[in-house]
Each structure stands twice: as C-alpha cells, then as structure tokens.
Structure 1
C-alpha cells in the first residue's frame, strides 16, 4: 500500500526526521510506519452554534480510526456560522472551501473524515475534498431535537419567520414572541426543519458520501456517535482500497441528489451548492438538470417549511433512505456510496414507519415537487423557484413591479403606508447577488408590507437575485442570473412595469418593449447599492465569483487539482 503520508514520514533524512519528531508527542514510532493518516476536518466552533458538538463527534471518529489501524488527527477548519457572520455566511463558503483544500493538500494525510452541520460547512467540505480528491467520508452533525412553545412544536427558522410576521401584523404580542426564543433551540444540532443544513446532510447521503442511514440522525442521539465511529473505520478502509472522492461522486451521484432534493422538499440553496461541487469535479451539471431530473419527482416528506413535521419525526419515520426507497426506480442504479455498494442496493433495508411524515408514493403531498428553472428576458441565464413552498394560485401571475434597490432600501420602505402596493404587485429586490451584495444573502423572501399583512395577505410574488433560507417559504423567484450588478435586466426594472411569472411554462418575463429597455440606464440608487470592496477577501470574491447558474464558486477554483504537493518544506 503506497501512502501519501510516506512522502513526509518515510525515510531517514533530515526532512523525514523533522516531520516525525514534531508529530511524535507520545506516539510510538509505529504510528508513522505504513499506517494511514486520517484528518478529521472538524468545523466545530463556539461561534457556529449548530456545530459546537462536533468535538465530541470527532472523538468517536478517532476511536474508529484507531480501531481500524489508522492514526487520526483533529484538523480544525474554517467554520462559517449561518446565524452570526456578517454580511452573509455565503460570502465565506468559498473562502472556507479554499482554506480547507489547501490544508488537505499541504498536510501529510491519506484520507479525510468531514464533519459538518451548519448550512455552508458541508458544501465547503465537499468542494474542498472534491478538489484534492483524497478518500473521504462525510459525517453530518445532525438536527436538533424538536422544541415546543405554548404546547406546539417549533420549527427552527420557519417559525421565526411565521411568528415575526404575526407580530408585524398585530396578531401576536411582542413579549410573547420573545418568550419563544428560549424554546426555539432545544438541543445541540442544526435546524430541525428541511432547511439548508438538513438538506445538505441528505445531499451528502444521496451523493454517496456518507455511511448510508446516518443523515438525519439527531445530534443528541447516541447513534450519531456510533455512526461517527464507523466512519473513522471506513476512512482507513477507503485509503487502503485506494478509493478517492472522484470514484464516488459521478454524474449518477448528482442525479440521485436531485431526486432526493425533490422527494424531500429540500432547500433551494442545494442548487448552488451542488453546482459548485460538480464544478470542482469537472462534471457538467446545469440548472436544466434540476428541472429535467427533479421536475416529475413527487414530494413525499411532510416537513416544515413545505409541510407539518420536523427532522426528528423524519428520522423516527424511517429517515431519508426510506424516502428514496419509494422512488428507487428514479435513481441511477450504478451510483456508488463510500461503502462500495450502489445506493440503490441499500435502500430495500429502509422502511417507512409513519406515513403521515413520509407519504406513500401513490399518495404524494405534491405530484411534481422539483425545483423549477425559469428563463426569459428577466433571467436569460436562469432563475429558480420551489413550487412546493409557493402558493399554487400564484404560480401563474401577472402584476406590477414594486422595486427595491437593496435590502436596506426594502427595510426602509416596505412598511411605508404610502407605498404603492397591493396584493397583486410583484416585489422586486435587486443588488443582492454574488457580486452586488456581495455574497448573495438570504433575503429573497422579503417581508410583506405591513398594511397588506393587516389585510390578511400572507404571500406575494417576490423576485430577487439573492437566495432565501431553506427554512423559509412563499412564492419566491430567486438566484436570478445574471444578477443586477453583473448587467442583468433586473437592474432595469422600474416601478409599475408588468412582470409575468408562469411556472408551468418556465417563464419569467419583464413585459417591457425591448427597444425601450435598450434605452434605459441603471438608476443611481441601484448603482449606489452595489458593493465595492477595496481590500481583502471581499475584493477577491467580487472580482472572481461566478453567477448563480454556475454555483457561485470562484472562477479560478473550478476543476480538480488533486493531492500532489511538488515542493518539500525543509
């Protein structure tokens, strides 16, 4: 067995002496004699609260690595926490992925166990691992347990949006809303709705990058530690078998992930993350693939925000693989898992135990639940909408635009009693794309005007070049490409312009004559809202970030570089 780490530790020269001596710290000499060196890429951080428990998970991984004959190394990596970092965690996904990639390549390691939980950590880990292409396995950190307030379960994130809108509508006292705060987060773990964190754990499993059955295991459940132990053992086996990430992540893997995304009602954020991971592998994944593969897949999972239950219920009901077992005929039969078995071969072992949570294939919650890709003069490179989270009566809609030049402009004017808006209006928010903000924040599900909330309006068509939280809901067109700051037509929309949304026909049109559009200039207010960083990561990001239809990765990071380091350190 040829180990990459032998390039550091093998031999009798000064360099190998230095590498071994500084790593000994109580280890025997046999630790560097042909034993796989496994890095535990650990996104634990007190400032990423959803990942704070991953140090405990890492200990279980270590035991598994040791048991299988490997040497484990805890490798803390950049951890962007969704709820804390400003201006938006998405700005730091690519930086985290780049830093992880460089540390994976630079260090004497033969394989990886990837520990992630909060929204951007699993995507960043997968992007980095795909670029370096070492053997790797993912251990998702798991959702929190379901909290309750006033006798009802709380959906983390989703109920924040709902309760805060009820306060704005005057239907819920502010102090009652604030009392729910201590009930929202019941335990360790990430959001318990089908938000981006839960979705990306399921995506990792559908891609074949986890031990089958681990995704969705609650963070507080001891079975997560059992699975982490097994992942440590498996990482050693992956090294001995010589099975890198590129052997697992194939076009068929992404096909399966798209099916899982639709069947589980997953977050729209999975689109940009899957596109980015595929780009690192050199795979040709497009927005049309999401529509083509996922468009006819039924929604089977009855979870918030599109449904009623929470992740703890999904795990109890059989978990994500019980869902995929019902749509097994739609999956790629050759796509492998890190265990060496095709995903479809493990599915018959997973039953559905609660059909209120996981609907039967013959009685789906929605017949066609995939992400819909829209095109038209307002989004020539594409935009997306999640029909499962939208109001059916708004999926075909024509209305007059009410335009906001930035999220700050929206916050300043949305509740103005004199705002010319009604329930048929189309709210347009621009300047929130990858370049314009920068970082493409989760603001596309902009709040509804207070005066309409008071009238009982709970949804409107909203269009934005940004993203929305996977815990959010509504008839929201997002990821408009190209964004306003990249020359997209979104920058030219004016108040009163008519916009047509036609989801069944996949159209998004600005109903303004092309000759008139050609004469329009971008308003000073719109230009003033664009980011113009002068230094640091933000400057690199704005100069090199790709648009939403290409995964919002950096242009110079697309493609796989591999694990080779050409130069010695001493």
Structure 2
C-alpha cells in the first residue's frame, strides 16, 4: 500500500484550501512538482546571534538541505525560540519548557512529514527533543558540535576554567590583565563548550539514545566533517519518513537505560538527570530518579574529560568518539536498541576503535572507578538530590559539618565574603530558594564560589547544598536538585546556620541532625517567601512546573503525543 504522507493533508487537497496552501508557498519560487507527494522535511533551527553556541546553524542547515534534496525530499526551515545559556536572564532553564511548546506546536501545526532538530547550546537539545516527542513524527537530531579547545599561555583551557580563573582573580593569584588574555583564547571557534559540560552531555545523550547518526556528539563544530554529518542526516530523515520510523520506536525504556549508563561513563553533567526525566515523561516511558543511581552505580568513568578529567571534546573525537566508548560498554548496554540510521546501537559501534587510551580508558582499566552520578536521600531531600562524585573531592565523600545557610541568592551574594561569616573548611554551605518555583527557573548557582577567607587559606572545595542546579562545566562536592525545594516548606526550607549536616556518599544519604519533632516545630512556624510573578509565562511556569525529581516539566505536558492535523480554517 502506498504511503500517505502527512504533508498531503495540506498540499494534496483540492479546491480552495489546497490552492491557499500551495499558492502562498509558491511565492518563494517553488515549482509545482515539489508538492506532488515528496516528503516535506522540517529543519527546526535554533540559530540566533543571541545564542553564540548556535550561531553557525544557518550554514549547518544548508548542509542538511543538500542531504534532503539528494534523497528526494523537500526541506522547509523554520525558527523556534533559541535559548542561549550565557546571556538569558534569569536562567535559560526557566524557558526550556516554553521552547519545547514552541517546537511541539510548530511541528504539529505545519505540513511536515519528518523533522531535523538543529541544537547545541545546553537547553536547546532537551527542549527540541521534548517538543518533538510530544508530536512523534520521524525525527533526527544534528548537534552543532563543540568548539575547538581554548588556548592560554601555552596550555589548553576550556569553560571549566571560568571557575578556576574566578577564584584565582578573587584571591589575587591572577590579574585582570591575565584574565582578559585568557578570555580571548577561551572560546576561539564556533560551537558549544569544549568540555563535558551540559551541551556536550546533551549531544552524547541524543547519540546514546539513538536519535543521531554515529559520531554526532564529538565532531568539532569547526571541522568539515560536522557538515558531512549534517548532510547525511538530511538524507537519512527522508528515508526515516519512508520507513515511518518515529521517535516512539527509538525512545524505548532500554534506550533510556543505555543513555544513563553512557552518561556515567563520560562523566556527564548533573543536568542530564533533569532533562532525561523530562524527555521520558513526554514520550511516555516510565523513568524515576532512582533509576539513575541504580544504572550508574556499576559504570566507572571512562572518559578523561574536563571537568572530571583532563581532556576536551575535540580530543574525544580524535580518540574514537562515542562509538569507541560504547564499544567499551558493550557488556552493560541493551545492544539491540534501534537507532536513527535503522541499525542497532551495537551495529553502529562494532567496528569502532579507540585511538587514545588516555582519553577513553578501557572498562578493565577505567580512568576513575568512582561513578559520575549518585542520587541521595535523607531528611534534607526526601524526594532525592544529585551529586557528581567524579567532580567532587574524595575526602568529603563522608563528611559532617555545621551549616552556613543563605536564604536566597541575594543573601549569598551579600554575605559570602563577610569576614565575620561563621565558616571554615569543615562548614557546609546551604543555598535555599533557587529551585524550579522559588527562583523561578532553577538557575546554575549550586557550585557557590567559596568565601574569600577560605580561598586565601588555599581551600579549594567544601560541601555545598542547594535546590538549584550547577553548570555542567562546574565541579566540586556539590549537592544539587534538592527535592522538595525550599519554597514548598519541606525540611530543607527550615535548615538554619549551625545545624549539623552529614553527607555520606557511600550510603547515598544526606541528613541533618534534628529530630522529627524539631523539624515539625520549625515547619509549623515557617512562612513562604513571596514569589514575584504576577503575569505571563513566569506565572504559568510557577503554577505548573513539577519538582526536580520529576524533570521540572509542566504537569500538563506529560505524555499524550500525537501528530493530528488541526481543522482547515479557510
């Protein structure tokens, strides 16, 4: 039976409606035969000059178009909201769900049979995938690629060094002039962060889920092979339409399990948890925060990449990329998962080779035996919290200390360098009200800069706890995503300076030494801080966003995918 293309519900119509759909498209110089049953492929583009990581996407889209034309399809490029991590205030995470809605409705409402998602900067990848999941048509992802490794005074640098440079300037080790020189060499090409930050983690995530062609994650943005991959992806999406290979056929529970294991092996960003949970919720796959700890626990760190290691994404590609790493994980993976090119994940990596064991270690001799992700529970975080052990200090894995509590980010900024702040190297910094509802948007402020008086003593790390997030480029013994967040009035909301807190990473626990009676007494007296959101999207966000352990998506967007076409309005 001949396949009926979704786009023909527009362009195949007779009479007035058909004339309107075709005639207005023809004003772009499109000949009539392009509407006669060719697969129409949308190119969902997050290009923006306000999103520097994605600023090369116009050129990348042209490569995708060549592949679509080559395979007999017709490309239609369309823009959606672009989330630039470095510029958007108060935080790009506030708008992830909004961008996903933009993507979902743009796909559903328009005549396309398949879609190519062009994404790179942190939130652009999960937002585009979330939106596409809610429509569930054939979809392939093309990441923008990491930037080339930065250079400063004869050494390699990357965006993880932002935190080091900041501390060095603050403590007088580095001058402002030296910082300006380093800044000029930090981001020296197109592309997203060169380290295993959130952007690179998301690129690895979509490759390990099977949503891309092999090698998508690590090819540098400036490398000509990135354009080749884009063209091949354009060619492949036309074939996917003809095969009716939808997202729901790729994004199975087994595929999500693979992604979690790969994230552990690469030392991926803690933001991976919140985004993968949201994607699973959209496609209707049952996934819980406990799955991340269970599936990560037996996977050692194989990728020697900053911030957990030494090297950069460019080095990962030259060493063999994600296929070489997947091959090391063969015994742990669900090898029969189907991927975007129609092959199983094992078929995609079975011929892969590792060319540098310093960058990609073997499973028998891992770079670090610690896991890259752990989920904590306790009376501070009843619904969970996350920590990245490979980026933390081993001497703090089991640690008790007195809390130094900041009620919000303004309180932290006001007091952190106060000489009279009751803090030493054994203290535990606690930052409240930076969660999904409380900030709102859950910003990347969890890896709080240490007090000046500790930096001057040479202290590089202490335990830090918050209901916010941390940049994937960050590092330290940082507990994140505490759920429920402080704004909801749980135990975390009533912590006070001087409370004794114990982190026990081996036991996966985080507790405050207070009785249930004392905690309840404090909660009875607790009053919520005012949330400033009187109107618009921010109000919608606060009223509908779920907690971090559920993915911080909107409660009304879970499941319910479908590409139904709306009524004609002409």
The CA distance in 2 between the partners of 1:332 and 1:126, in whole Å, is 21
418, 421, 428: which is aligned to 1:419?
A: 421
Q: Name the SS of the counterpart of 2:492 in structure 1.
A: helix
Contact 2:146/2:191 (<8 A) preserved: yes
Partner of 1:531: 531
User: Mind listing any 5+ residue stretches in structure 2 that lack a counterpart?
Assistant: none
Partner of 1:230: 232
Q: Name the SS of the counterpart of 2:382 in structure 1.
A: strand
The CA distance in 1 between the partners of 2:531 and 2:391, in whole Å, is 30
Partner of 1:544: 544
- Matches of residues 148-547 of structure 1 in structure 2 within 5 Å? 148-156=151-159, 158-521=160-523, 527-528=528-529, 531-547=531-547
Contact 1:133/1:560 (<8 A) preserved: no
Partner of 1:86: 89
TM-score, L = length of structure 2: 0.98
Contact 2:467/2:485 (<8 A) preserved: yes
Partner of 1:97: 100
The CA distance in 2 between the partners of 1:152 and 1:488, in whole Å, is 47
Note if 1:38 corresponds to 2:37.
Answer: no
Q: Name the SS of the counterpart of 1:19 in structure 2.
A: helix
Contact 2:446/2:468 (<8 A) preserved: yes
Contact 1:212/1:346 (<8 A) preserved: yes
The CA distance in 2 between the partners of 1:212 and 1:40, in whole Å, is 20
The CA distance in 2 between the partners of 1:397 and 1:202, in whole Å, is 33
The CA distance in 1 between the partners of 2:104 and 2:381, in whole Å, is 33
Contact 1:481/1:549 (<8 A) preserved: yes
The CA distance in 2 between the partners of 1:41 and 1:106, in whole Å, is 13
Measured on the aligned residues, the alpha-carbon RMSD in Å equals: 1.1
Aligned residues, how many? 567
Contact 1:143/1:190 (<8 A) preserved: yes
Contact 1:492/1:522 (<8 A) preserved: no
Partner of 2:567: 567
Aligned-residue offset at 1:370: 3.6
Q: Name the SS of the counterpart of 2:48 in structure 1.
A: coil
Partner of 1:124: 127
Partner of 2:555: 555
The CA distance in 2 between the partners of 1:517 and 1:271, in whole Å, is 29
Q: Name the SS of the counterpart of 1:520 in structure 2.
A: helix
Q: Name the SS of the counterpart of 1:427 in structure 2.
A: strand
Contact 1:130/1:560 (<8 A) preserved: no
The CA distance in 2 between the partners of 1:27 and 1:49, in whole Å, is 32
Partner of 2:79: 76
Aligned-residue offset at 1:513: 1.1
Aligned-residue offset at 1:26: 1.5
Aligned-residue offset at 1:389: 0.5
Q: Name the SS of the counterpart of 1:376 in structure 2.
A: coil
Aligned-residue offset at 1:247: 0.5
Poorly superposed stretches of 4+, deviation over 3 Å = 521-524
Aligned-residue offset at 1:523: 7.9
The CA distance in 1 between the partners of 2:126 and 2:13, in whole Å, is 37
The CA distance in 2 between the partners of 1:560 and 1:444, in whole Å, is 33
The CA distance in 1 between the partners of 2:524 and 2:55, in whole Å, is 45
Aligned-residue offset at 1:511: 0.9
The CA distance in 2 between the partners of 1:237 and 1:522, in whole Å, is 61
Contact 1:296/1:368 (<8 A) preserved: no
User: Mind listing any 5+ residue stretches in structure 1 that lack a counterpart?
Assistant: none
Contact 1:263/1:324 (<8 A) preserved: no
Aligned-residue offset at 1:363: 1.3
Aligned-residue offset at 1:521: 4.3
TM-score, L = length of structure 1: 0.98
Contact 2:450/2:461 (<8 A) preserved: yes
Change (3 A) 1:333 1:167: same
